[in-house]
Copies of this chain bind each other. A is one copy, B any other.
Amino acid sequence: MKNSDSSRITIKDIAKALNVSASTVSRVLSNHPAISESTRKLVNDKVKEMGFSIDPIASSFRSKKTKSIGVICPRIDIDFHSKVISGIEDYAYNNGYQITIFQSQDNYKKEKEIASMLETSLAAGLIICPGLQTHKYDHLKKFKKANIPLVVYDRSTDGLKTNKVMINDFEASFKATEHLIKSGCKRIGHISGDQSVSIFKARLQGYSEALIQNGLPIEEKLIKETKNLSYEEGLISANELANTNERIDGLVCANDYTAAAAIKVFKKFNYNIPEEISIIGFSNYPISKIVDPQLSTIDDNAYHMGKVASKLLIQQIEDSDFERLDYQEILIKTELIIRDSTKK
């Protein structure tokens, strides 16, 4: 059961129909300047008439160039990553590129495997958020050697000199903490994430620095580190904080899940929010508008981060070779969102 008409229309067919050479048709299709307006129109019309479209595989094969961007992230179904990828895709699509997505599951071995595959062919460039287990970057350095543009997003990669797009976590956390201080909080706790991860370390530092610059003491017992910043861990940490001798009147959380948990706990302890305690989250997840009171938070501009990463990568793909020797580190601005869980 063959399909008899599987014959694809090719450049040659167009050429034959017009009595011109295949090269001429090819030149028209790739907007070569040395083509007269008349033949250009002739060819374009015939292309439409015959419903021709170029075979991108053949084109890539011959030119050794693709329009495909590889994206590696730990998981797609994490709110943050899905937003970043959305931004990457939007920008890429509007500039004629496609994105091929892989999930490393935070598995170093798998990440290397995917990277190696992408490097040996296929990709015009790579955008990657390295996994939590990733502390060596040889698999990424290979891209530089192979002259394939590379952009890292979100996670810092110490020792790897490459393009990076990140949130300014320090500044964002500083901003959040200062917001509490300015509204009158004197004793502010922090629920932090895994301190072996750079972005969570930066958030703790931003919190600390804001206290210091405003003449407030840093009390270790008010800083609760969690492993995954989960809602459940948030409940535990908040409970501990609610049970300290001196009451706290402010709480900076490293994400919205732990902040939502803190709201629940402090309400149970009969604190009025925000009158008696201000609570602020981080990320601006959907839940932040649904908890009661609505959660003040930091918007991480994940979508925009994706757009910027995509733009940076495509610039490098399309620039001349030697430009790639340089790299940029771009910090994405975050936004303080004030709702009802903090005093104005």
On A, residues with C-beta under 8 Å from B are: 1-3, 53, 55-58, 60-61, 66, 68, 75-79, 81-83, 85-86, 89-90, 93, 98-103, 120-122, 147, 231, 257, 260-261, 264, 285-287, 289-292, 303, 321-322
Contact of A93 among B77, B103, B120 (CB under 8 A): B103
Please state if B57 and A290 are interface contacts (CB–CB under 8 Å): no
The answer to whether A100 and B98 touch across the interface, beta carbons within 8 angstroms, is: yes
Q: Knowing that A86-B103, A90-B103, A286-B286 are A-B contacts, what are 10 other residue pairs whose CB atoms are under 8 Å apart, sorted by A's residue number?
A: A2-B321, A57-B66, A57-B121, A57-B122, A75-B86, A77-B79, A81-B82, A89-B103, A231-B289, A257-B286
> Complex Cα distance A120/B50, Å?
14
Nearest residue, chain B, Cβ from A58: B61
User: In the bound complex, do residue B321 and residue A1 qualify as a contact, i.e. CB atoms below 8 Å apart?
Assistant: yes
Point out the residues of chain B lying under 8 angstroms from A3, CB to CB.
Answer: 147, 321
State the Cβ distance, A153 to closest chain B Cβ, in Å. 15
Which of B55, B82, B321 lies in contact with A77, CB distance below 8 A?
Answer: B82
B77 touches A231 (CB 8 A): no
Task: Give every chain B residue within 8 A of A102 (Cβ-Cβ).
Answer: 89, 93, 98
Q: Can you list 20 A-B contacts (CB < 8 A)?
A: A1-B322, A53-B121, A57-B57, A57-B60, A68-B100, A75-B86, A77-B79, A77-B83, A79-B82, A81-B82, A93-B102, A93-B103, A98-B100, A99-B101, A100-B101, A231-B289, A261-B290, A286-B286, A287-B287, A290-B291
Bound state CA distance, A78 and B76, in angstroms?
11
- Asked whether, in the complex, the Cβ of B77 is within 8 Å of the Cβ of A120, the reply is no
Residues of B within 8 A of A53 (CB): 120-121
Partner of A86, one of B76, B289, B303: B76
A302 nearest in chain B by CB position: B77
Chain B residue nearest to A84 (CB atoms) is B77
Task: Name the residue on B nearest A67 (C-beta).
Answer: B122
Residues on B with beta carbons closer than 8 Å to the beta carbon of A89: 76, 101-103
